[in-house]
């Protein structure tokens, strides 16, 4: 009886060996292992693919394919059909089946690999690798997009006021607390937020920015917390992550935090206190760990007193307040800032480097810069465009560009709105109702801002200290008159 079993077993192994060898003609990359996971046979093609310079028969399969499925197939007796495996810096399709003797005992496993070439599954493997490369590229680009763009060393300025701010940024970066950046519009709050993140322990994590004033009130909650699948009619069936979730383990920069609706302020406070939130249209609670860096050009203290901003949220955000000085308070930095802007813009416009005369710099020094660095950037940009064929920017051009708004030729020459009267001037005329006086004053301020910015509405809104949405809402009636 034993002799019969031995003959049957020998015949089985002979057939199995012939079958394995015949597979080589169909599957260039194939291999078999025994119960101890040692290689018993390997095709020449697979040996070349793995870069072997000797026969590996008798050696553990994991020595050459560390993440091989074959040991698992031997141990469990369960086959693997067309799964993916990363070998030699590419994704391949793998199948493996258990080998058994006549008694049903597992004696090993046989497997084959489909690579980009040389198999009937080569086209499928090639497509998978192509998709994987695209996915890796998209992931890399997305990661880079969520990293900081500015470092503290890239922010020009060596004045006493600027050095004090940079020291505060370095100190704040050491501790994982909320930071509130305050200052006039155009003082570089976003640049400092980037720099703070880059200096912190979260620098390898995402940096997500959200401009509160640029999003309509009815959309800001979804933008902040995300939307569950099918949360409302017309909503996507795919989950849409909000900025809070995207910033998980990193930094969330909230620009113009003073424009956040009161209702959302309460939800933000809860998210910061409890470190959890619920997406719009969902009952699922998500945990979140973010550092908040907020910025505003508005006076939050006054807003708290007026009931327009929650006091508890203000104190939560104001753990480390840093005030950015206006450009007029650090004019000694203006030369260096101007040179940096000039160099960056010439490079961006593919123009040869330009110089700026000493007289032009003195003209810049004489201006009050209500729009701060942003206004200076715009002036230099216009100067470069207007002097495209010249090698330098002159004082006459700069003076032409920074003349005070009222003395410039008006771009609203047909306006019928006079300047509001002086606060203490006497008049025998019957005063208009307060509502009409406020409306007239707002209209005059809008016209004056538009004159100053040569009709640039976005810049006018910044100068007036209101959001673009509010500006367009106020400007629309004037436009239709």
- 165 near 324, Cβ under 8 Å? yes
Q: How confident is the model at residue 407 (pLDDT cuts 50, 70, 90)?
A: very low
- Cross-strand pairs, 96: 80, 111
- Cross-strand pairs, 32: 41, 110
Q: How confident is the model at residue 250 (pLDDT cuts 50, 70, 90)?
A: very high
- 457 near 471, Cβ under 8 Å? yes
Q: How confident is the model at residue 114 (pLDDT cuts 50, 70, 90)?
A: confident
- 231 near 264, Cβ under 8 Å? no
Residue 115 neighbours by CB under 8 Å, 6+ apart: 29, 49, 90, 92, 122, 125
The kind and range of the H/E element at 363 are helix 358-365
Q: How far apart are CA 245 and CA 225, in angstroms?
A: 7
**CA neighbours within 13 Å on the CB side: how many for 142?**
8
Q: Point out the least confidently predicted range of 46-55, 67-76, 110-119.
A: 110-119
Task: Tell me phi and psi for residue 182, to 5 degrees.
Answer: -120, 160
Residue 16 has pLDDT above 70, yes or no: no
The kind and range of the H/E element at 211 are strand 207-211
**CA neighbours within 13 Å on the CB side: how many for 202?**
29
Token pair in block for residue 428: 């025998």
Distances (CA, A) of 191 to 209, 215, 302: 11, 21, 26
Q: What is the DSSP string of 139-208?
A: HHHHHHHTS----GGGS---SHHHHHHHHHHHHHHHS---EEEE-STTS-HHHHHHHHHHHSTTTTS-EE
Q: What is the DSSP string of 255-287?
A: ETGGGS-HHHHHHHHHHHHHSEE--BT----EE
Rounding to the nearest 10 degrees, give the CA dihedral for residues 207, 212, 213, 219. 120
Kindly report, residue by residue over 138-164, the tens digit of the pLDDT. 444 444 444 456 678 788 888 999 999
Look at residue 230 in the predicted model and tell me its pLDDT.
63
Nearest C-alpha neighbor of 182 from the set 340, 263, 303, 275 = 303
Kindly report, residue by residue over 258-299, the tens digit of the pLDDT. 999 998 999 999 999 999 999 888 888 899 999 999 999 999
Neighbours of 468 (CB within 10 A): 16
Distances (CA, A) of 324 to 196, 435, 443: 14, 35, 30
356: left (phi over 0), alpha (psi -120 to 50) or beta: beta
- Cross-strand pairs, 90: 87
Residue with tokens 């080998």, as numbered in its chain: 99
Kindly report, residue by residue over 356-400, the tens digit of the pLDDT. 999 999 999 999 999 999 999 999 999 999 987 788 999 999 999
Nearest C-alpha neighbor of 168 from the set 322, 306, 370 = 322
């Amino acid at each position: 009886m034993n002799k019969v079993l031995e003959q049957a077993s020998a015949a089985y192994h002979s057939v199995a060996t012939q079958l394995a060898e015949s597979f080589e003609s169909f599957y260039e990359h194939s291999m078999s292992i025994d119960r101890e996971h040692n290689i018993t046979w390997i095709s020449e093609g697979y040996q070349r693919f793995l870069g072997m310079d000797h026969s590996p028969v008798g050696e553990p399969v994991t020595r050459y394919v560390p993440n091989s499925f074959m040991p698992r197939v031997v141990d469990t007796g369960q086959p693997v059909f067309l799964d993916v495996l990363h070998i030699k810096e590419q994704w391949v399709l793998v199948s493996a089946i258990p080998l058994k003797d006549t008694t049903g005992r597992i004696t090993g496993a046989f497997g084959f690999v489909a690579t980009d070439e040389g198999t009937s599954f080569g086209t499928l493997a090639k497509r998978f690798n192509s998709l994987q490369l695209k996915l890796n590229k998209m992931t890399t680009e997305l990661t880079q997009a969520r990293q900081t763009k500015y470092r503290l060393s890239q922010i020009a300025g060596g004045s006493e006021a600027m050095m004090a701010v940079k020291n505060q940024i370095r100190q704040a970066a050491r501790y994982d607390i909320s930071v509130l950046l305050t200052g006039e519009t155009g003082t570089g709050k976003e640049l400092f937020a980037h720099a703070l993140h880059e200096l912190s322990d979260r620098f390898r994590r995402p940096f997500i920015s959200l401009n509160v004033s640029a999003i309509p009130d009815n959309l800001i909650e979804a933008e902040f917390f995300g939307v569950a699948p099918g949360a409302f009619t017309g909503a996507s069936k795919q989950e849409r992550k909000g900025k809070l979730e995207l910033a998980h383990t990193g930094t969330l920069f909230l620009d113009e935090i003073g424009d956040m609706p009161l209702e959302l302020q309460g939800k933000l406070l809860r998210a910061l206190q409890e470190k959890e939130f619920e997406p719009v249209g969902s009952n699922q609670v998500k945990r979140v760990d973010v550092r908040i860096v907020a910025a505003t050009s508005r006076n939050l203290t006054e807003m708290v007193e007026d009931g327009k901003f929650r006091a508890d949220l203000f104190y939560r955000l104001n753990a480390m307040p840093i005030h950015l000085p206006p450009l007029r308070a650090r004019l000694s930095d203006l030369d260096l800032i101007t040179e940096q802007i000039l160099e960056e813009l010439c490079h961006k416009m593919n123009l040869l480097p330009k110089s700026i005369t000493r007289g032009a710099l003195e003209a810049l020094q004489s201006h009050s810069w209500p729009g701060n660095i942003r206004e200076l950037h715009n002036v230099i940009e216009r100067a470069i465009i207007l002097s495209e064929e010249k090698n330098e920017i002159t004082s006459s051009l700069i003076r032409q560009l920074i003349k005070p708004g009222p003395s410039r030729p008006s771009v609203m020459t047909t306006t019928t709105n006079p300047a509001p009267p002086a606060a203490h001037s006497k008049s025998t005329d019957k005063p208009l109702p307060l509502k009409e006086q406020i409306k007239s004053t707002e209209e005059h301020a809008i016209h004056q801002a538009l004159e100053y910015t040569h009709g640039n509405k976005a810049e006018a809104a910044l100068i007036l200290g209101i959001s673009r949405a509010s500006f367009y809402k106020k400007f629309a009636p004037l436009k239709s008159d």
